Each structure stands twice: as structure tokens, then as C-alpha cells.
Structure 1
């Protein structure tokens, strides 16, 4: 799955959004009449809005009593997510420096599921015609809805370029919070299912290369096998792309090498194990029969390595430099494991990679790890989440399964296990 492919945005998950302000007013005041005063609506409109919210979510949220409305367990879960959505709306209005009138107008748009869906789709498709077709509305209707956002903000959200719509800085800021709102609504469904006694919902996993071979697939299979109503998507992209998705709520967590040296503000890093580099070659490689190979003897070999800007390539270079050697020159640079496998199988090329990433080929005897002493190649592998995220029960179930898989990892050697082959 690629970022931008967000199935929950097309599934009606955003439908409850328009009713949340009425719901919060009733939840906080305990009365439809008092709530109507707070949101400047007729009591009948508030009652209808709460009823439509309960219908959309498939469960009552209040106990109706003569003296007022009392939240039940489902209502309390919805209130938690609704208040987080309210906070996201307030944060983006503050960031954009909105006046009081702008705040009211823009907040109303952000609390509309249809308008929010259109905004997110417009930023992803960057084409009014494509968005209109996707949402089943006219092109004029899509343009009018976009114009309402721009009028409320008193600023353009997109620059009309020949290649399509280019988001402005204001649109980029608005989009991050819009996606976080959508994520809260997605998690709301999982919260309610858990209260009902089953785990359901959609989880999106950002998978860096090390986890793609064994850990993430095995964890997902175990979680889905135990909870059949779970739906899981994986996103395979460079770290920077995954991180942007994590911060905007498109991704629930990232599994792979932890980047403690990067900007970790607003992130939680959970180390799970340490991994190491190994030098791998095909079975039957001329060097495979040697009992010990000095690293210097490999400088003239042909190498297939990650691209120069990849963290794994920097780790390879640092390992050679630590031993006073010039880094190897790559004959082939790639971040694709399928290409790497084929090159190793069909040539005498070498690679430097975590043995975990090619564990099946090693176990099958198709590849071998050469007896080479490297410099320091240890890296921490684990889970990255947003610091203030309220993870859904569905996400927690997938995380628990992945942690269990990590505990089952076979020892690769007596050395301390590094995820080197990062795309």
C-alpha cells in the first residue's frame, strides 16, 4: 500500500464527524436542552443529531433518564475520541492564526465529514476532476467546496499549476490535522468493537526493510488469525515518507531501525532488539570455504549495496572506516530485496545486510554468511509511534503480535544482533 491509499476515508468512517459537536454538548451538559443552548441549535436538531450518530455507530451512547442523558461505556469511548478531534481542530486554527470569525467558519467545515474527505482527497489527487469522480459529485460542486475552505481561511489552499494543484503551506498544515481527525474517527470504530467484546478495525503499519521478511508478516498473520475482523495495510517506503505518514495519522506505527539521531520530537521509540550486519554471498562462492576472512580482502570484490543516502549504506561505510579501510565501491546500488537476491544468486557479488532480512535464504542454504570481522554495526530495532497517540485496540493487538514474534527470533550468532539494508 502507498500513502494516500486510505480505505477508511471511502467507507463512511467520516460520517459521524458532523454530529460530534452536538454529542459533546449533550455529554458535557447531561441535557439536550442545555446542549441546544451551547451549540445554538433547536433541541429537536440536537436530538436528531445524537440519534443519527448512534445509528451511524451502531450503538446507543446514552442512558436516557427523566433527569437527563448519561453516557454509557460506548458514549465514554466516543467522547474520548471526540475531544481529541476537538483538540486537533483547535490546534490547527491556532497554527493558522485564525480570527474569531475564521475559527467559526473553518471549524464548521472541519466538522463536516464530506468536506474533510474532499480536502484530503484534493491534496492527494491534486486534480479537481479526479476528486469529483472519486466522490461522486460534480466538478463544480468540488470546486465550490474547496472555495468554501479558502474563503473561510481568507487564503488560497492550492496553487493551480500545469501539473495539477500544488498545496500551499496553509494547506499542508491543515492537511496534517485533517488526517489526524480522520484517524481518530477510524480508531473510534475499533474502540467500540472492543467494548462489544471483539477486536475490529483497520491498522496501517509502516514497514522498514528488516521487518518485511519475517517479523511484520508473522505478526500480522498471528493477529489476523486471532482476530478475523482486523484489517491491516502495510506501507513500504523510505523512512522519511513513513515518518510523515506517522505524524499525520496515515500510519499507526513504524517497525524497523530506530532513528534516535533524527528529530524525535513528538515520537515514542520502543527498542525491541539489537541487530547486526553480516557479509553475505551465494552458496558455493569462492570465499565461502575460508575459515576467516580479513575485511581488507574484500575490497576488490564486486558489491551490491544500498544507495549512498540510505542509513544502511552509511553503516557499511562506517564499519570499513572504523578499521582504517576505504569503503567498498558498489557495482550495483539498490534498495530492493528482490533485486538483491537475484544478483547474489546469479553472481559472485557480496552484500552487507542484516542476516534477518535474508533468513529464509540462509536457512535454505542458498546464501551463506562469510566469516568476516566487521567494525561496529549494531543498531536498535523497534517500534516508533506518535507520543500522544491514543492507539486503538486493533493497533495494540497487532503490536502485541509483533512483540511476540520478536521474542521468537532465532539467534543469528553470538554477536550482538543492525538493520543495515535500509531503502
Structure 2
């Protein structure tokens, strides 16, 4: 997790920008005027930007100040929403506190909570933050005492977050991502595009489109940092919710699995029965369902769209001897070394088919299109780099 500015400095910045006055911002934040002045100066030094024009009538955001303000306000709204939810939870359970996180929590405390949520324990969280475990434990427990609502619970494997802890961690993680994105926005405003894009993909989604889009983006913005993370649907959804990835590319579920997510279709795809080029069925003009039942299969994990297509094609009674994998590399290797069959899109074996290694069998599967597209957070505000990638991706998908 990147080093982040003091959340109290960000609050002072937002108040000064809204009220156009350091004096009124200090009163609203319950700080001294010199403290607010110092907070603004530190932020300007940190980002190497002039965020305010100082006039006799007050302080007014510059163009860069407005860019920063947009991200800061989104971040603070997330923390304020968390405070409201904690207060409601406290009232329901007759607890005396539950609020204050938006005014009193520190960046260090919230960073500790997010790290624990992502890594699943104090030790792993400490390693990810480069801190000693006692420091992370103390910050987390101080935060819990501050809000007055249980955020952690002991389990046999160590520690887990309560529902309130998960809620706060999610909003804090997204708030931090907004602040990280502010750096990208500010640099883009100065003509420098060297921000970050993290793309989540599902294990069997390899197509020509994604590599082409990433290469096109990197050629346009050679200083940009691009990362592609592969994982199961459940793990990628968690990463998307926590702001660890910016978007997820793969088969859409329709409707989205959560109210705070949206799906954008890129294209519809169809599945084919795939085998090695020298497979006993590869030379047939027509392959029947009975032919398919004679050979063992490699299938994706349960509860995936392709697995549902397989079960509809073969039937639930033919479920023995299956090899399950979410690895396209392993799947390719096993197909080439055996007479096993699988269901894949031909887009996923473009190179192997061109090279004469794998082949789509002539099987009538019926009209079973599946939508492929992007899943993203409904309230996501992409940076210029991320917007450019979405545009390139849509163009490549045509």
C-alpha cells in the first residue's frame, strides 16, 4: 500500500476549499488556524502543486486544487458513510459509541485495518505494511476502541473481521484508492501519464483482445504501470470491492452479483468442444453427444458459466473421472498429452489453433452465447489512463 497523506490534513484541505477560508475551516475542524495553514502547506509540498490562490478575501482552489478536491471529497464521503453505518449499528446493539471514525481515526489506524482485511491476520498485515506486528495490533485495537464497536473476532486461525469491521475496511480501502488516484489525476493534468491500472481477469479468459488492448495502452503511455491479476471469480470480486483491482474482465453473470457492481458487455462468445489436433474425433465430419461420452473431460470449477454449459451438454450423470482446473496453461498441456476434451471459446485457443496444436470439433451445441465484458464498481471514477484503456478495449472488441 502506497504511503498516504494524513487524513486530518485532507479534511482540513476539503473544508478550506469548500469554505474559501482558513479561519472558517479551522473552526469547522476544531483546529487552530496555524494548524490548518500548515496542513495545506504540507499537502502542496507533498504533491508539488499549488492548490490554492491566496487572496485578501480568502483561499480559492486552483485548477489542480479542484482536481484534488474531487478525489478528497469522494474519499471523505466513504469514511463518513462508514461512520454513519457504525453509529446505526451501535444504536441497534445499545452500545454507546459507534461514531467518530470520520473525525478521529488516523490514517495509520485505517491502513492497519485494511491490511488485516486483505491479508487475514496481524503478522501478514505487518509484513505488507513493513511494520512490526505490535504496531499494527495496537493501531487496530486503538481504532476499535475509538469506534466503540467490535471490529475483530478471534478464530482458530487467528483473527477475522466482524461485519462492521469488513464494512469499515472496504470503505477505507476505497477511500485510500481515491487518494492514490488523485496523484494520477494531478500528473495527467500536468501532461504526465504514468499512473496505475490493475486489471483483474478470470482464469480461462485469455483472448487476443486483452493483450492487444494492454500493448496499445502501453505504447500510447509508455510510463504507465499496468498489472494483470488472474484469479477465481470470488477472489477477483473481493479484490474489486477492496479497490485492489480497477476492473474485472471475463464472462458476465447478468445480473451482477452485488448492487454496488455494474457489468458492461464487450461481445458475446460461443463455446466449442476442444481437443488436440490428433484426437480420435478430430477427423470426423460430425461428432455426436454419444461420441463425447466416450472420452474423459477437463472442466472448469463448479458455479462457473462454462461448467453450467458442460453440465447441460453432458448431463449430471456423467460426472466421474473429471479433471477440474482454472489454469489455461495446465488445461492446454493436458489436452495436448491426452484424449481428454474440454469446452472453451475458440478465442481462447487462437494461437494453438493457428499452430495446428488444438482443434474445435464439429459438434452441434445449440445457440449458447455467453456475454464477455467488464465488471466494475458502480461508483468508480476512472483516471485518464483507465478511461483510455476502457476506450481501447471497446475498440478491440468490435
User: Given the two structures, how large is their TM-score scaled by the length of structure 2?
Assistant: 0.91
Change (3 A) 1:317 1:186: same
User: Given the two structures, how large is their TM-score scaled by the length of structure 1?
Assistant: 0.86
Cα distance in 1 for partners of 2:126, 2:347 equals 45
The corresponding residue for 2:291 is: 297
The corresponding residue for 1:165 is: 159
Cα distance in 1 for partners of 2:130, 2:327 equals 38
- Cα deviation digits, residues 149-183 of structure 1 (max 9, x gap): 11112233222344222212221111111111111
Contact 2:202 2:249 in 1 (8 A): yes
Q: CA deviation at 1:134?
A: 4.9
Change (3 A) 1:330 1:394: farther
The corresponding residue for 1:371 is: 362
Contact 1:304 1:351 in 2 (8 A): yes
Change (3 A) 1:194 1:83: same
2:41 maps to which of 36, 39, 51: 51
Cα distance in 1 for partners of 2:223, 2:7 equals 23
- Cα deviation digits, residues 281-300 of structure 1 (max 9, x gap): 11122221222222332211
Counting only pairs closer than 5 Å after superposition, residues 98-247 of structure 1 correspond to structure 2 as 102=97, 105-110=100-105, 112-132=106-126, 134-247=128-241
1:30 maps to which of 20, 25, 32: 20
Secondary structure of 2:100's partner?
A: helix
Change (3 A) 1:125 1:275: closer
- Cα deviation digits, residues 190-209 of structure 1 (max 9, x gap): 11122112323222211023
Q: CA deviation at 1:45?
A: 0.9
- Cα deviation digits, residues 344-399 of structure 1 (max 9, x gap): 11112111111111111011111111111112321011111111211122211222
- Larger mean Cα displacement after TM superposition, 229-238 or 337-346: 229-238
Secondary structure of 1:352's partner?
A: strand
Contact 1:282 1:368 in 2 (8 A): yes
Cα distance in 2 for partners of 1:166, 1:320 equals 41
The corresponding residue for 1:343 is: 334
Cα distance in 2 for partners of 1:381, 1:135 equals 36
Counting only pairs closer than 5 Å after superposition, residues 11-26 of structure 1 correspond to structure 2 as 11-12=2-3, 14-15=4-5, 17-26=7-16
> Where does the alignment leave 5 or more consecutive residues of structure 2 unmatched?
none
Q: CA deviation at 1:333?
A: 2.1
The corresponding residue for 2:393 is: 402
Q: CA deviation at 1:108?
A: 3.5
1:267 maps to which of 253, 261, 272: 261
1:390 maps to which of 381, 389, 393: 381
Secondary structure of 1:120's partner?
A: helix
Contact 1:316 1:377 in 2 (8 A): no
- Larger mean Cα displacement after TM superposition, 100-109 or 251-260: 100-109
Q: Does 1:277 align with 2:271?
A: yes
Cα distance in 2 for partners of 1:135, 1:343 equals 40
2:85 maps to which of 71, 90, 95: 95
Report how many aligned residue pairs link the two structures.
393
Secondary structure of 1:335's partner?
A: coil
Change (3 A) 1:372 1:329: farther
Provide the aligned C-alpha RMSD in A: 2.3
- Larger mean Cα displacement after TM superposition, 115-124 or 356-365: 115-124
Q: CA deviation at 1:88?
A: 0.6
Secondary structure of 1:96's partner?
A: helix
The corresponding residue for 1:63 is: 53
Structure with more contact order per residue of length (Cα contacts < 8 Å, sep ≥ 6): 1
Change (3 A) 1:128 1:384: closer
Secondary structure of 2:187's partner?
A: helix
Cα distance in 1 for partners of 2:20, 2:276 equals 70
Cα distance in 2 for partners of 1:358, 1:336 equals 13
Q: CA deviation at 1:63?
A: 1.6
> Where does the alignment leave 5 or more consecutive residues of structure 1 unmatched?
1-8, 408-423
- Larger mean Cα displacement after TM superposition, 38-47 or 300-309: 300-309
Cα distance in 2 for partners of 1:344, 1:15 equals 51
Q: CA deviation at 1:329?
A: 4.9
